Amino acid sequence: MEGSWPENLATINQKKVINDELMEGREIANKLRSLLSNSGDDSKSAKDLVIKIMKSFSNTLSMLNVKEGDIAGSMISQIQAHSSCLDASKSEGDSQESCRSSNITPIKKDRRSFHNRRRPLQTWQSDTPTLIDDGQAWRKYGQKVILQAEYPRHYFRCTYKYDQGCKATKQVQRIQVNPPLYRTTYFGHHTCKIIHKGHEVVMEDTNPIETSIFISFDSSNLTNKQDQHPFLSSFSSIKDELKEDIKKCDTNKNQSYSCDYFVSPDSMVTQLPKSMMELSSTLESKNKDLIYEIMECDDFSFNMFQI
DNA sequence: CTGACTTGACCGCCTAA
DNA sequence: TTAGGCGGTCAAGTCAG
């Protein structure tokens, strides 16, 4: 990306609006924190505040998403890359590789590796310590060793690519061993009409903006057995090789990783910048039922916007 | 038998010379 | 301008349910 990202936004006025939205979100989050710390039983007020926070974030996201996701996607990638670089500053190896490949570091290398060879589809990334079903039906169509990457990249397309012409694809690549870290990059959005059931979160026919929710699945509450892991057991695209990685990851659950995943309404960028997620870090576990009510997610103990 | 995965081959974009 | 490198995709063979 050329230049810093704010300069790429449409207008200064829009930046002000975004800033205002973020400020409002922070303010509301602070109110919520005060409210919850008083441990009053005013669940209705708390719920209203949560809804306001979500709306504020959604508005911001919709603005970030204004240019086909290109800007937002790049921003998210940069933010993620930056934060992962910061996180990885303690460790060597793969994380450094992922930092090198981002635009954050000024290290000059073959410009070929910076170029996105793909057609300009909407993209967004997710760095997660485990592989979890994202609610879509994926079919693996390739695997390739990438130059200077220690682990191969796995290519997935929508199962209904040919049935319904769905162009969504994703790439999954392990980027770090300890702690395990997988980078999933989504390209395009699902146009298929299939609604997946079971443990998968169905977001069909909902307003993607209004439902943009970042969920953090706390692996400390997961079982050791993969078979009992509903997300993993339903992840039909993963076979032995990746599952081995998952097992290794689960055995490290004592480290209490927080598995950050999107409830991924297509056509939007759902992962929030860290600063935005901070605004919601005040949500206490005692209000998870509140979140359940909003999200209708009943399987995991999770924290919204957890950092 | 059918659907999914594996993997080598191929295609096309991009860079360096 | 072009040859070579590289990432992304295809498709035949294989496997599993």
Give, for A258, the enclosing helix (H) or strand (E).
strand A258-263
Distance CA A202, CA A114 (A): 35
> In 3-state terms, what secondary structure has residue A241?
helix
Nucleic strand C under 7 Å from the C-beta of A111: no
Angle between helices A43-64 and A288-295 (to 10 degrees): 50
A147: confidence class by pLDDT, cuts 50, 70, 90: confident
Least confident among A49-63, A116-130, A183-197: A49-63
Q: Retrieve residue A51's tokens.
A: 């809804």
For A143 and B16, how far is CA from C1' in angstroms? 28
For A3 and B8, how far is CA from C1' in angstroms? 41
Q: Which nucleotides of C are covered by protein (CB under 7 A)?
A: 5-11
Is residue A20's pLDDT more than 80? no
The CA-to-CA distance between both ends of chain A, in Å, stands at 26
Backbone angles phi, psi at A65, to 5 degrees: -90, 10
ipTM value: 0.89
Chain centroid offset of residue A133 CA: 12
Instruction: Identify the DSSP state of A287.
Output: G
Nucleic strand B under 7 Å from the C-beta of A139: yes
Q: Single out the residue of A158, A167, A164 nearest to residue A136, CA to CA.
A: A158
Taking residues A62-76, what's their average pLDDT?
39
Q: Retrieve residue A211's tokens.
A: 């439902």
The average confidence (pLDDT) of chain A is 51
Q: Single out the residue of A297, A289, A266, A129 nearest to residue A199, CA to CA.
A: A297
Residue type, A108: K
Instruction: Identify the DSSP state of A286.
Output: G
For A242 and C8, how far is CA from C1' in angstroms? 20
pLDDT digits (tens, 9 = 90+) for A192-248: 765 444 333 333 333 333 333 333 333 333 333 333 333 333 344 444 545 544 444
Distance CA A92, CA A90 (A): 7
Range 85-124, chain A: CB under 7 Å to any strand B atom: 110-112, 114-115, 117
How would you classify residue A205: left for phi > 0, otherwise alpha for psi between -120 and 50, otherwise beta?
Answer: left
State the Cα angle at A80 between A302 and A197, rounded to 5°.
Answer: 40
Instruction: Identify the DSSP state of A161.
Output: H
Range with top average pLDDT, A31-45, A172-186, A204-218: A172-186
Taking residues A79-97, what's their average pLDDT?
35
Name the closest residue (CA) to the C1' of nucleotide C16.
Answer: A239
A155: confidence class by pLDDT, cuts 50, 70, 90: very high
Nucleic strand B under 7 Å from the C-beta of A44: no
Residue type, A171: Q
Contacts of A240 (CB under 8 A, 6+ apart): none
A150: confidence class by pLDDT, cuts 50, 70, 90: confident
Please report the DSSP string for A165-227 in residue order: ----EEEEEEEETTTTEEEEEEES---------TTSPP-TTS-TTTT-EEEEEEGGGS-S-GG
Please report the DSSP string for A1-36 in residue order: --S-GGGGSS-HHHHHHHHHHHHHHHHHHHHHHHHH
